Amino acid sequence: MALFGKMDNLGADQPENQDKKKEITDVEKTRVLIIGSGPAGYTAAIYAARANLKPMLYEGLQPGGQLTTTTDVENYPGYPDGITGPDMMEDFKKQAERFGTDIRFGMATDADLSERPFKVTIDDNKIIEADALIIATGATAKYLGLEDEKKYAGSGVSACATCDGFFYRGKDVAVVGGGDTACEEAIYLAGLANKVYMIVRRDVFRASKVMQHRVFNTPNIEILWEHQTKGLYGDGVVEGAVLVKKKGTPEEEEVKIKIDGFFLAIGHKPNSDIFQDYLETDQVGYIKTIPGTTKTNVPGVFACGDVQDSVYRQAVTAAGTGCMAAIDAERWLAENS
Ligand code: NDP
């Protein structure tokens, strides 16, 4: 049985997109293009650069990736005392640059993987043609889908405690979610804010025991078990949230909490949208790779890191698959050019 289904729309492109691409005259070529600058992208760059492939890497909207929004990384081997996410990613970048990676700021906005060389549009105004493509675009924080999240975006709603926590010193905030991210964000915020509510939809955490333990031992965190968010209120900025306790049960009740900040920590969505016409993904959007490799259903296109990993999603596994992608690309280029 073939691993991947038939790609009926391979090469199909909307007429308006074709027109858009025709207008772009700034075209550059590279052997290996890496998109993404998290642990996967930089590790792929280190390996590809050391293999003399002179890779070009586009950093994307969030240079350094998700780790730049985390606090201490304590589980990456080689850092016995831990290291901050931004410092670690700066080290990754320096190492990739040291071997000659052409690192650029820019966001991949479109892709045409119907033929080789592959064409990736950057910032809607430049096309990079690549013999081999390594996708390391990672994943992005999810939102609940409430209108109020948009209404108060940047005015009390955030998906990154380390980016925005500073603004809530001495105030009351809430974190939504019960996983490791939510616990980590709540603990971080507890060091700045007066009080942190955790809004957890079930009566248990999904987080690891060690993170749970830290939350339970942080006195200014209050856990609201079996609560869901109905909406936010406030005059221009968030002043509170309306929650529903034990939704759908006879004890269902509406609860209001006064908060200044509302932080989402409910998981992530893989950044694979621009490749969906060509690459096989799972239902959520994680790019499928041939097990044990980083090969996608399009020969010459490789995926590594969180964009293809719905299971482990760790910096060290992302780096591992980044290494695999560079080796897979190197071997593929040797056989196909
Ligand atoms: P997870 O998927 O692990 O957890 C998501 C949490 O959000 C769950 O508690 C889930 O509830 C809740 N949730 C999801 N959707 C909704 C919704 N619509 N409304 C309310 N709650 C919702 O994501 P994380 O980002 O926490 O973690 C991702 C991965 O990264 C995990 O493997 C984790 O271990 C790892 N990680 C590790 C860290 C570390 O080791 N220091 C730090 C951060 C992440 P429910 O449980 O009911 O599904």
Q: pLDDT tens, 31-56?
A: 999 999 999 999 999 999 999 999 99
Tell me, using a 6 A CB cutoff, whether residue 176 lines ligand 1.
yes
CA of 144 to the centre of ligand 1 (A): 13
Residue 4: which pLDDT band, with cuts at 50, 70 and 90? very low
What is the rounded radius of gyration, in angstroms, for the C-alpha atoms of the chain? 22
More confident residue, 169 or 70: 169
pLDDT for 312 equals 86
- The rounded distance, in Å, linking the Cα atoms of 306 and 40 is 8
CA of 72 to the centre of ligand 1 (A): 18
Q: What is the pLDDT of residue 160?
A: 84
Q: Which of 282, 257, 260, 259 has its CA nearest to residue 269?
A: 282
Q: What is the CA angle 28-29-31, rounded to 5?
A: 155
Torsions phi, psi for 66 (to 5 deg): -60, -25
Q: For a substitution probing ligand 1, which of 180, 202, 226, 312 has the most ligand atoms within 8 Å of its CB?
A: 180
Q: Residues 13, 102, 160, 180: which is the catalytic one?
A: 160
Cα-to-centroid distance, 18 and ligand 1 (Å): 39
* pLDDT at 190 (0 to 100): 98
Q: How much is the pLDDT for 314?
A: 87
Q: What integer pLDDT is reported at residue 300 of this predicted model?
A: 98
Q: Measured from the CB, is residue 202 less than 6 Å from ligand 1?
A: yes
**pLDDT recorded at residue 9:** 34
State the DSSP string of 19-33. Answer: HHHHH---EEEEEEE
* Cα–Cα distance for residue pair 319/41, rounded to 1 Å: 8
Distance 88 CA to ligand 1 centre (A): 23
- The amino acid at residue 115 is E
pLDDT attached to residue 162 = 78
- Please identify, by atom number, the ligand 1 atom nearest to the C-alpha of residue 184: 42
Tens digit of each residue's pLDDT (9 = 90 or more) over 265-294: 998 899 999 999 999 999 989 999 999 999
Q: Is 157 strand, coil or helix?
A: strand
CA-nearest residue, atom 15 of ligand 1: 266
Amino acid present at 304: C
Nearest alpha carbon to residue 68 among 88, 93, 94 = 88
Distance 261 CA to ligand 1 centre (A): 19
Q: How far apart are the first and last CA of the chain?
A: 29
Question: What is the average pLDDT value for the chain, to the nearest integer?
Answer: 92
DSSP 160-174: -HHHHGGGGTTSEEE
Would the CB of 75 count as within 6 Å of ligand 1? yes
Helix, strand or coil, per DSSP, at residue 69: helix
The amino acid at residue 73 is V
Position 262 pLDDT exceeds 50: yes
Ligand 1 pocket check for 184: Cβ under 6 Å: yes
Active-site residue flag, 183: no
C-alpha–C-alpha distance, residues 3 and 241, integer Å: 46
Q: What digits encode the pLDDT tens for the residues 299-332?
A: 999 999 999 998 888 899 999 999 999 999 999 9
- Quick one: pLDDT at residue 67? 83
Q: Does residue 3 register a pLDDT over 50?
A: no
Compute, in angstroms, the gap from residue 255 CA to the centroid of ligand 1. 23
| pLDDT for residue 268 | 87
Other C-beta atoms within 10 Å of 16: how many?
Answer: 8
160 is catalytic: yes
Q: What is the pLDDT of residue 70?
A: 67
Using a 6 Å cutoff on CB, does residue 177 contact ligand 1?
yes
pLDDT at 222 over 90: yes
User: Are the CB atoms for 182 and 176 separated by under 8 Å?
Assistant: yes
159 pLDDT exceeds 70? yes
Q: Which of 164, 260, 309, 328 is catalytic?
A: 164
Question: Of all protein residues, whose CA lies closest to atom 33 belonging to ligand 1?
Answer: 180
Q: Quickly state the pLDDT bin for 73 (edges 50, 70, 90).
A: confident
pLDDT over 70 (residue 251): yes
Residue 37, both tokens:
């600058």
Of 77, 103, 89, 79, nearest to 39 by C-alpha is 89
pLDDT digits (tens, 9 = 90+) for 171-212: 999 999 999 989 999 999 999 999 999 999 999 999 999 999
Q: What is the mean pLDDT of residues 67-94?
A: 89
Q: Which band of pLDDT confidence, cut at 50, 70 and 90, is reported for residue 8? A: very low
* pLDDT higher than 80, residue 13: no
Lowest average pLDDT, out of 18-22, 154-158, 200-204, goes to: 18-22
Q: What value does the mean pLDDT take over residues 62-73?
A: 80
- Ligand 1: residue of 201, 268, 269, 312 to mutate (most ligand atoms within 8 A of CB) is 201
Q: What is the pTM assigned to this prediction? A: 0.74
Structural domains in the chain? 23-140+268-336 (3.50.50.60), 147-264 (3.50.50.60)
Instruction: In whole angstroms, give the CA distance from residue 322 to residue 316.
Output: 10
